[in-house]
Structure 1
Amino acid sequence: MASNIRLTMIDVSCILINYNTSQYTIDCIKSIIENTRDTISYEIIVIDNASKLDDYKTLKTGVDQLNAAQAKLVRSKINVGFGAGNMLGVQYASTCKYYAFINNDTLQVSENCLLRLKEFMERTPDAAVCSPQMLDEHKKFRVTIDHFSSIQREILRRPLLETLFPSTYLNRKKTYDKPTKVHYVQGSFMFIDASDFDHIGGFDTNLFLYYEESDVSRRLLKQLKKYTYLLPDLEYIHYKSASIKKNIAIKIEQKIALLYYIKKHFGWLHHKILLIYYSIRYFFTSIIKPQYWQLFYIFLIGAPLSKSLKQKQKINQE
């Protein structure tokens, strides 16, 4: 068996996931290379999450044409989702000081962003995660931070909590002017201390598409007393959900992940209260919008992980 020992430590391992969006991925890799200087050692691990064969071939050709020694492409035979896809990338990563989990539908905007993120982490001992400010494709402000999910957030909703408890629930739509501690940042760009991430076991692979970033930041805070920061002086563009088409199946997946997250972090009682709340809410919603009967049914049976899209994936033999 070939040795898998990695002797040289690099600064950053950038991990990207491609799912039938090869051109976004190629452009993302280009933007990382173009905006990163030689003063930082890094690599780019691209996990293809069982894309269609034509998309994978386009991606492979694009990566080969970049002729970048630091770029590595790995193809999974099954779509394992966001968290597990990134964890697969971690397994192929070199020993590194930091992981940068970057959505493929993003572009680097700030020059030498990876180095500046690294420098912030090195001078901030209580930081485990940081992220630049997210912009849309027109370079306009896009919400980057969010509050940990809880019964309060789901029932009272974010705007009320931000009004009543502004120090705990920071205004998500505010433009900040200095590094700011937040509950968590969007998973489209997470720069994470590798030793901290490894210590907590990385992403929870029971989660297929949603709440992975919130779960990681919460566990880092609970287990290590380490925080997540927004760095507003750095920016990146996110086209947002290029590979995910919104439909009732995605809504169901989101709620299954939410109920799993609540039970994991708050226990059976909180899970049950939220389950009853959503059952009542979507019963009445489905009377007006019949397509929501499927969602009501999921709550009625307890929103189990067995109904997750993760359980419906098939091995790709192409």
Structure 2
Amino acid sequence: MLDVSCIIINYNTSDFTINCVKSIILNHEHNSNFEIIVIDNASTHQDFSKLKSSIENLKNNSLKIIRSKTNLGFGGGNMLGVQNSSDCKYYAFINNDTLITEKDTLGQLSTFLDNNSHIAVCSPQMLDENQNFRATLDHFSSLGREILKRHFLERFFPAKYPNRKKFYDKPLKVDYVQGSFMFITANEFKEVGGFDTNLFLYYEESDLCRRILKKTGKETYLYPFISYIHFKSASIQKSIIIKKELKISLLYYTRKHYGYLAHKVLITYLIIRYLFTSLIKPKYFPLLKILLTGAHLSDSLKQKQKII
């Protein structure tokens, strides 16, 4: 059995993926008990060809690439990686726009979870490309978080909502960590069924950590003794289309974890909010329209993907 199976998704950003893979290999020269699985999420032929050629040139037996014929999104792409992984003790879900910068990162995280059986998920501290602080932890979405906002909750309820914008000098229990680097025990991941592939983009990591906590009692921690670099959203360009996907995922997540009434309260709040926003910024009318029609999963980008 392997210690760690690292799963990376590529979508039309092969340069980032190649550098990410190289950074993992470089910082684990003396650790051979891991594998790297790269899932190409139906990138263009040109991008995939470049990626495939570069990976083959690395001539690393622990590295393989699998191409999906359709864009499966974040959760679906990672689940395809899991299906093609070897038996392992841990999964490391690593965004392709990251760089591993510290020696034996995988080994250090393995040891941390080996020594703390109550923890199922952890992450190093995230930094930006200039090695400046980036928030790694976050709080479960709720009506309170969406309406009152994070800053209010962190200021008045710090015990439950730790400050996201702070360096910590010891491991910290959190609700969830960012999906750019999630290190997870394979047993707990499998027990809850892995990522919810109904979510195409956004809220996958929050949903997963919440289900693991609810079903197994295992917690999520920030492990700040090591760090990694994350280039923000290299493969996702912000647009109204992406904002619509964000709200679709949020409303699905809310209905799933809080029920019908919370879902109705949230969608009513969002409709009122974006009604006024659209009057000032007309570009938000498409977002308001999709909210008025329910922002269902049938409106998700997942339903618009083609087979290549």
Please give the TM-score of this superposition, normalised by the length of structure 2.
0.99
1:82 aligns to what?
74
Give the stretch that moved more between structures: 33-42 or 123-132: 33-42
Secondary structure of 2:207's counterpart equals helix
Q: Are positions 1:68 and 2:83 aligned together? A: no
Quick one: which amino acid aligns to residue 234 of structure 1? I
Name which of 209, 226, 236 aligns with 2:218: 226
2:283 aligns to what?
291
Secondary structure of 2:24's counterpart equals helix
Deviation at 1:111, TM superposition (A): 1.0
Secondary structure of 1:264's counterpart equals helix
* Structure 2 residues not aligned, in runs of 5+: none
Q: Are positions 1:55 and 2:47 aligned together? A: yes
Q: Are positions 1:272 and 2:264 aligned together? A: yes
Deviation at 1:158, TM superposition (A): 0.2
1:3 aligns to what?
none
Q: How does 1:98-247 map to 2 (within 5 A)?
A: 98-247=90-239
Secondary structure of 1:291's counterpart equals helix
Quick one: which amino acid aligns to residue 272 of structure 2? I
Q: Distance in 1 between matches of 2:15 and 2:60?
A: 16
**What is the CA deviation profile of residues 257-288 of structure 1, one whole-angstrom value per residue up to 9, with x for unaligned ones?**
00000000000000000000000000010011
Q: Distance in 2 between matches of 1:194 and 1:161?
A: 32
Deviation at 1:240, TM superposition (A): 1.5
Deviation at 1:39, TM superposition (A): 3.9
Q: Distance in 1 between matches of 2:83 and 2:72?
A: 14
Q: Distance in 2 between matches of 1:166 and 1:225?
A: 22
Deviation at 1:298, TM superposition (A): 1.2
Deviation at 1:292, TM superposition (A): 0.6
Quick one: which amino acid aligns to residue 286 of structure 2? Q
Deviation at 1:187, TM superposition (A): 0.1
* Structure 1 residues not aligned, in runs of 5+: 1-8
Secondary structure of 1:169's counterpart equals coil
Q: Is the 8 A contact 1:176 1:232 kept in 2?
A: yes
Q: Distance in 2 between matches of 1:63 and 1:245?
A: 26
Q: Is the 8 A contact 2:31 2:104 kept in 1?
A: no
Q: Distance in 1 between matches of 2:299 and 2:232?
A: 25
**What is the CA deviation profile of residues 74-97 of structure 1, one whole-angstrom value per residue up to 9, with x for unaligned ones?**
000000100000000000000000
Q: Distance in 2 between matches of 1:85 and 1:39?
A: 26
2:298 aligns to what?
306
2:245 aligns to what?
253
Deviation at 1:40, TM superposition (A): 5.3
Quick one: which amino acid aligns to residue 73 of structure 1? I
Secondary structure of 1:272's counterpart equals helix
Q: Distance in 1 between matches of 2:109 and 2:237?
A: 31
Q: Distance in 2 between matches of 1:38 and 1:61?
A: 25
Q: Distance in 2 between matches of 1:39 and 1:68?
A: 13
Q: Distance in 2 between matches of 1:130 and 1:169?
A: 17
Q: Distance in 2 between matches of 1:39 and 1:261?
A: 38
Secondary structure of 2:43's counterpart equals coil
Deviation at 1:18, TM superposition (A): 0.2
**What is the CA deviation profile of residues 177-214 of structure 1, one whole-angstrom value per residue up to 9, with x for unaligned ones?**
00110010000000000010000000000000100000
Name which of 25, 41, 45 aligns with 1:33: 25
